[in-house]
Amino acid sequence: MNELHDASPYQSATTAEQFAAHLAAVRARIAAACARAGRDSNSVRLLPVSKTVTAERIRLAVAGGCTELGENKVQEALEKSIALADLPLRWVIIGHLQRNKAKFVARFASEFQALDSLELAAILQQKLQDENRTLRVLVQVNTSGEASKFGLEPATVASFIRELPAFPRLEVRGLMTLAILDGNEARVRRCFQRLRELREQLRIQIRAEGLIGIGMDELSMGMSGDFEIAIEEGATIVRVGQAIFGPRALPDSHYWPEPAAH
Ligand SMILES: *Cc1c(COP(=O)(O)O)cnc(C)c1O
């Protein structure tokens, strides 16, 4: 991890012009991947991920063209949303959520991409009711088989989504995953394929069982290091941090705490 980080291919951006250039470069790579896959480039949404980036630098990124931001820690996202309340931004929580933080998500987030328990769904439903809000939601799936990853086992998702119509404040729209981080392209691709295959099964189930209000159009998969593979495998949302904001100070393991830290 550290070796990879030391040789980071990512450039830091510190002006609005640099952010605009990084966004344009990522968009061009998205368009090229879409062309290779015979897809319309409008079918992929670029979600910039601003974890560890200060509110001041986010301001420049917004001037450069960012309109929504993904964050993996609620507390950090909440503080930034307050500091940047004058900007018309959409906040998307993409990391594991502890139950005691659900009230914050209900208050300011537009979307939550890491739903992984019914207990959390019930708490979010209650807090969203209190706030008179709704929340777009993706179900996080562990497609890599790594014990250190959050997300539901693929085999358990069918019974999970069957329960979600009970939480009408959650607008379920699809699935999210993190691929294996070992850099082996075939294994990374397999994770993305697994998520797409699961979505097809769930679509059939949703129709067959008449599950009300549960959508399965979105596949949030792919990050700076693997988003082109994800697009080739059907991603509709790519979550890109370092290719826009530059390298992070610490290796990924620091930002993805082990599930034992629940
Ligand atoms: C940090 C993060 C990303 C973005 O990773 P980059 O390497 O910065 O592109 C995507 N998804 C999740 C869940 C993250 O925590």
Under DSSP, is residue 150 helix (H, G, I), strand (E, B) or coil? coil
223 CA → ligand 1 middle, Å: 6
How crowded is residue 145: how many other Cβ atoms within 10 Å of its Cβ? Answer: 13
Q: What are phi and psi of 247, to 5 degrees?
A: -65, 150
Among 72, 140, 221, the mutation site with the greatest number of ligand 1 atoms within 8 A of its Cβ is 72
239 CA → ligand 1 middle, Å: 6
- pTM, full prediction: 0.94
How does strand 135-140 pair with strand 45-48?
Answer: unpaired
Separation between Cα atoms, residue 198 and residue 243, nearest integer Å = 28
Amino acid at 87: L
Phi-psi region of 90 (alpha: psi -120 to 50; beta: other; left: phi over 0): beta
Query: What atom in ligand 1 is closest to the CA of residue 248?
Result: 8
Architecture of domain 3-256: Alpha-Beta Barrel (3.20)
Separation between Cα atoms, residue 220 and residue 99, nearest integer Å = 23
pLDDT in 10s for each residue of the chain, 262 residues: 444 455 678 999 999 999 999 999 999 999 999 999 999 999 999 999 999 999 999 999 999 999 999 999 999 999 999 999 999 999 999 999 999 999 999 999 999 999 999 999 999 999 999 999 999 999 999 999 987 779 999 999 999 999 999 999 999 999 999 999 888 999 999 999 999 999 999 999 999 999 999 999 999 999 999 999 999 999 999 999 999 999 987 767 666 655 544 3
Residue minimizing CA distance to atom 8 of ligand 1: 241
Domain boundaries, the chain: 3-256
Q: How many CA atoms does the CB half-sphere of 243 hold within 13 Å?
A: 21
The per-residue pLDDT for 146 is 85
